[in-house]
Chain A
Amino acid sequence: MVKRSKKAKTMRKLIKAIWIFNWFNSCGFTELVPVVGSRWDMERFGMIIVGSPRHADVLFIAGYQTLKSIKRAKRVYEQMAEPRVVIALGSCTMTGGMYWDSYNTIKRLEDYLPVTIYIPGCPPRPEAIFEACEKIFKHVKELE
């Protein structure tokens, strides 16, 4: 029997089907909504969209964030219950991207929230989102 820490045991029980909180920013909307739609159906993997942050496991920060909207995202993050995961989608969230010289967008998401997985692309394809979720499952399995 492998000895696992308490955190690893809870995560293995809870993160089997991911529930996502609905925070679709503008560029993320065009590629996250087809993931909900009928061609790349995400309900077959157990993922659904919930309306309240208390029910959710994962927060998708999709698309560029401005100073006004990152404050609201931070409040949402504080209301989520442990264990929780933040996924950064798109290159504008990671490095500033195309708006690197704009005075109102944020340039590095890790200054504001603790990020687990980065998905690059402009915007990333729906298959990339599924690959990222698979990596979360693998990471949780190997956690000690």
Chain B
Amino acid sequence: MNPKEEREVEILEDIGSKFDVEGKIQRERRIWISIDNKELIKLCGWLKNQGFEHLSAISVTDWVKEGRFEVTYHLWSYKDKILLTLKTKVDREKPVIKSVISIWEESAQIHERELHELFGVKFKGNLDLSSLFLEDWHGPPPFRKDFDWREYVRDEFYDKENEREKVYYD
């Protein structure tokens, strides 16, 4: 154990005593925690009071073979200078999760709006989930793994008869 990682160990033990989590310390200033869907909002509220005021990013990973989406929240504390990452799982067929907009307000709202458009995940409690980047898009959510871009682009934009573009069909 690195002598510099004292504060990280303190925080992890504190969380472990109050909530049911799996955690590890990857290196100095990095804590990774996995938690179940139901306790997410309580843990986030507790973390904000401990000093994790800055929500750096929210991201979604699409694990097709296991049939789930994994939502990750990256939080930074200006007081202790530590980054904490929270991971939760959502079912892929019905992706609905509670929004953290009640805790981090506008900075969470814009991340959730983007993820709703690109992956199709619904955030309960977020009132403005209108489309952000795309206009008149009628296809499936573009960043999912079962939407192959190279096939779509070949059908839609390229022409096999064109000499210049025959290369893309090999």
Task: List A residues at the B interface (Cβ < 8 Å).
Answer: 67-68, 95-96, 100-104, 106-108
Most buried by B among A95, A101, A102: A101
Q: How many residue pairs between the two chains, A and B, have CB atoms under 8 Å in the bound complex? A: 23
Q: List 23 A-B contacts (CB under 8 A).
A: A67-B135, A68-B134, A68-B135, A95-B164, A96-B157, A100-B153, A100-B168, A101-B149, A101-B150, A101-B153, A102-B149, A102-B153, A103-B142, A103-B149, A103-B152, A103-B153, A103-B156, A104-B134, A106-B157, A107-B153, A107-B157, A107-B158, A108-B157
When chains A and B are docked, how far (Å) is the Cα of A106 from the Cα of B157? Answer: 8
Shortest CB-to-CB span from B166 to chain A, Å, is 13
Task: List residues of chain B with CB under 8 Å of any chain A CB.
Answer: 134-135, 142, 149-150, 152-153, 156-158, 164, 168
CA distance A106 to B156 in the complex (A): 10
Given A96-B157, A103-B152, 8 additional A-B pairs, CB 8 A: A100-B153, A101-B150, A102-B149, A103-B149, A107-B153, A107-B157, A107-B158, A108-B157
Q: How far is the CB of B96 from chain A (nearest CB, A)?
A: 26
